[in-house]
Amino acid sequence: MTAQKVRPAMMTAPPLPLTQDIVLIGGGHAHALVLRRWGMNPLPGARLTLINPGPVAPYTGMLPGAVAGHYRREAMMIDLVRLARFAGARLVMDRACGIDRAARQVVLGSGRRLRYDVASLDIGIASDLPEVPGYAAHGVAAKPLGRYAARWEAFVAESGPAPHLVIIGAGVGGVELALASAHRLRAAGKTPQITLLDRGAQALPGVSAGARRSLLAALHSHGVTLLTGVSPAQVLAEAVLLQDGRRLPSDFTLSVAGARPQDWLAQTGLALTDGFVDVGPTLQSSDAAIFAVGDCAHLTHAPRPKAGVFAVRQAPVLLHNLRAAVSGGSGSDQAGAGGPLRGYHPQRDYLKLVSVGDKVAVADKFGLRGGGRWLWQVKDQIDAKFMAKFSTYPAMPRPAVPPVHAKGMAQALGDKPMCGGCGAKVGAGALRAALAGLPAPDRTDVLSGRGDDAARLVIGGRTQVITTDHLRAFTADPALMARLAAIHALGDVWAMGADPQAALAQITLPRLSEALQADMLAEVMQAASAVFRAAGADVVGGHSAVGDELALGFTVTGLMEGPARLKTGARPGDAILLTKPLGTGVVLAAEMARIAADCRGTDGLMLGEIWAACIDSMQRPLAAAAAILRPQAHAMTDVTGFGLAGHLWEMLEPAGLGAELSRAALPILPGAEGLAAQGVASTLAPSNRAGLGWQVEGEAGPRLDLLFDPQTCGGLLLCLPEAAAPAALAAMAAAGEFAVQIGQVVAAPARIILR
């Protein structure tokens, strides 16, 4: 008998467990570069987290060009949402306000705490003047850059023909922004009056004499008045009062006055110099588990001025040292893990290219100087090269189809990453087929089962509703995912007109070390409990498991007073109202695939900003809206996986009714229509469209496409008497709730028509 080799079945290796937490505090240049390099070669077992208040971070080198009008806003913004997705990092949009070093936790402004094994600070500096009366109310700080850029664009659009500007701080930054402001306002047909002032006796400290002469000449040619040896005493809405009693008219008061550290660093117990974190060659602070880079750090071994060039060159050293710090000596130094920590030694001087309003720059390095358009082109090329690192990322790898495989495998895999949230649901056709063979409830205490948002039970003479919902994670932030999953699960209870009572959690965690597992489970439960408590319910138990990825679900009960608000019950002539804008499926799909949004077609927003606006809408509970609208509603549901068209058809089909929807009235999330026009769609959208077939009519385009977009944490969809609609909309507005009338129920034809 001949022995035969038995080939083992091919299995996909499970994800490796996460065991160490690296937390990056701030989205500065060094951290952005670390994230990009991490995405190219992540360290197995390390969970990387980025904490930043917003979804985008500005690149300082292009700010003067943006102020001058040479660049569009998005050209100088790093999309941290796309970058975090590429790096496999979780992005927590919050502001750090402390570090509990004993517990190894970063304290956030929301009160949340994030554990770390190793942390790094790259939070930049501030240029505000908190000691000057009136500045907080009427002044603008050049840093943080994001708020300044937004305020400046609004000022250019809204200011009169001869605006007055006062810029405090006549260093290189102040001079550069004064010249950029003058150029932009003159290009807009205005005649600005700009005053640049400084406490020091001389402007442009630290600049060579030759470069100083060139820049002072540029100020003169642009009509900028320079005052030195003066200090602001008070900032008013329309003026700046100086210590010597002079009053300078000002419609826009900007501070570029030096570098101020963030106040909360003083409470960390770290060694500081003038408020900045002391670091040595390895970029470690006085606490070896905490690194610091960029402007918030003070290089004790080689003090240097605050400049972005140092942060950029610190990035490779920081990346290596973070990996080495959490690898415990595993791996090889060549692979970027293990081995000794590296040292950072900054250059003594660096090339300063100072733009002077028009596309002209002045150079200064080692006492050399020069100027001209060619230098601006050099600066433009340097800036463009840096930003190109964050515009295009390598394509996401798709699962490989084995050479020999069963029929249909390629089609089942699809051509895009599988969506999360409701975009990962089973299609309506498959769901209906699966449920068709189930027997109808024959118990007297079960009033209704499948077919509506929740089942209705009679218990002790009272009506209780029960529903369940489960989401595949679409964000790496477990607390955010828990909040959204809880709000989503509560939607069915609110749509039925019930008050939430209790919830059971179903949690699948990814593979983690015991410490990270306990931490993630606590984050999930605390975040979910806060949502349910606010809704009047309690989490009373549940079940947990470990799998390949995070997935969260909740079974929720509610108690009902009075009649239920069912999906059925719409009447001809009813107004159709919607309480949240559409587009979550498109936005979440774009973010998961790291789509580079065309800002000109997406309301001028970057993908990260579109995603952040989407998340804000999703996080709004439906409790207040349901309480206001359910007394008048003939029929009510919430819009989830089957999209607006699918859920509206569920309301209309049983009675043979139709609906006419207004294309113009449809509320759309910022940027979602532009993404849909780019061809972005959730993986569930084709199934939603196929399931309705001829029932939906309208001119082809993104707004029609968005009728089939699966929603996660979507709004209430209801039909109520036309005469009651104005009062209902007014009541919603008075309560600070969003609602819009999108159409009307019609007796015929029995279709949904988008006009």
Question: Which residues have a catalytic role annotated?
Answer: 422
Give the whole-angstrom CA distance, residue 298 versus residue 317.
16
DSSP, res 18? B
Residue 203: its H or E element: none
Rounded distance between C-alpha atoms, residue 690 and residue 175, angstroms: 60
Alpha-carbon distance 325 to 329, whole Å? 8
Specify burial of residue 219 (Cβ count, 10 A radius: 0-12, 13-18, 19+). buried
> How many angstroms separate the CA atoms of 256 and 165, rounded?
13
Give the CA angle between residues 322, 323, 329 to the nearest 5°.
Answer: 120
b/e for 257-270, b at 16 or more Cβ within 10 A?
bbbbbbeebeebeb
Three-class SS of residue 184?
A: helix
The residue type found at 526 is Q
Cα–Cα distance between 276 and 295 in angstroms, integer?
A: 8
Scanning 437-477, the segments in alpha helix (DSSP H) are: none
Helix (H) or strand (E) holding 544: strand 538-546
Cβ neighbors of 658 (< 8 A, separation 6 or more) are 652, 745, 746, 747, 748, 749, 750, 751, 752, 753
Contact 146, 65 (CB under 8 A): no
Write the DSSP symbol of residue 610.
H
Looking only at the bridges linking them, the beta strands covering 538-546 and 499-509 are parallel
Please, which residues have CB within 8 angstroms of residue 302's CB and are 6 or more apart in sequence? 345, 346
Q: What is the CA radius of gyration of the chain?
A: 29
Phi, psi torsion values for 717, nearest 5 degrees: -120, 120
Whether omega for the bond prior to residue 749 falls within 30 degrees of 0, making it cis, is yes
List all residues 6 or more positions away from 520 whose beta carbon is below 8 Å from its beta carbon.
478, 509, 512, 550
> Rounded to an integer, what distance in angstroms lies between the CA atom of residue 77 and that of residue 623?
36
Strands annotated E in 44-130: 46-52, 56-58, 77-79, 90-93, 96-100, 105-108, 113-115, 118-121
Strands 575-578 and 716-720: antiparallel
Q: In what order do the strands lie in the sheet with 164-168?
A: 139-141, 252-255, 164-168, 193-198, 224-228
